[in-house]
Amino acid sequence: MDFRLLGELFLTFAKMGAVTFGGGYAMLPMLQREVVERKKWVTEEEIADYYAVGQCTPGIIAVNTATFIGQKRAGIAGGIAATLGVVFPSVVIITAVAAVLSSFAEYPAVQHAFAGIRACVCVLIANAVVKLWKKAVADRWALAIFLLVAAGSLFTSVSPMVFVVASAAAGVVIKNLEAKKA
């Protein structure tokens, strides 16, 4: 067991967990930069796959994604180290904030700070979407799936899990048909 790697997984995900506001989607740009570009632990395709599966499995997307990446790098122990790393800062910060937030929540400066953070998170998510778009929507069939899922998610209340499963099935069918034509 490589304890150095386990420590690196824990610390990498703890760093992201400590500064990510806005949930799992807001963590995507950091994951991209840290684990794809900088550490090269996973590819862009893998991170997109982990994110998709993380959306349709029970739990928090960021935690699920960290678990997948940790498991890929160092097996079950790596999955546990990455998971503990990503949740540890949140537990500490939420405990501290909960103890004092009710005392300060009514202050305009606190309300304005959270409004600014929400705006920033929207930009970070949009940036992550643009980066994922370049790799994920590579042909006309992927574009068609994207447009159908976008329309379905905007105009219906269908679970994201249904979209992920249906998109996976469509991908298998389309690629098998293309292979038969070739």
**C-alpha to C-alpha distances, 90 to 40, 46, 86, 108, nearest whole angstrom:** 25, 25, 8, 24
Which pLDDT value is given to residue 167? Answer: 93
Place of tokens 């998170």: 121
- pLDDT at position 4: 95
Predicted pLDDT at 71: 96
H or E segment at 141? helix 140-155
Q: Which two tokens stand for residue 40?
A: 């090269």
CA 128 to chain CA centroid, Å, is: 10
pLDDT digit string (tens) for the chain, length 182 residues:
899 999 999 999 999 888 877 666 777 788 888 999 999 999 988 988 888 888 778 878 888 999 999 999 999 999 999 999 999 998 898 888 888 877 887 889 888 988 898 898 888 888 888 888 887 888 999 999 999 999 999 999 999 889 999 999 999 999 999 888 87
- Whole-angstrom CA distances from 76 to 1, 32, 84, 94, 171 are 11, 22, 12, 27, 29
Q: What is the pLDDT of residue 22?
A: 66
Q: DSSP secondary-structure letter at 42?
A: S
Tokens coding 70: 């940790």
What was the pLDDT predicted at 155?
Answer: 96
Query: Which token pair is 100?
Result: 């004092």
Q: What is the pLDDT of residue 70?
A: 96
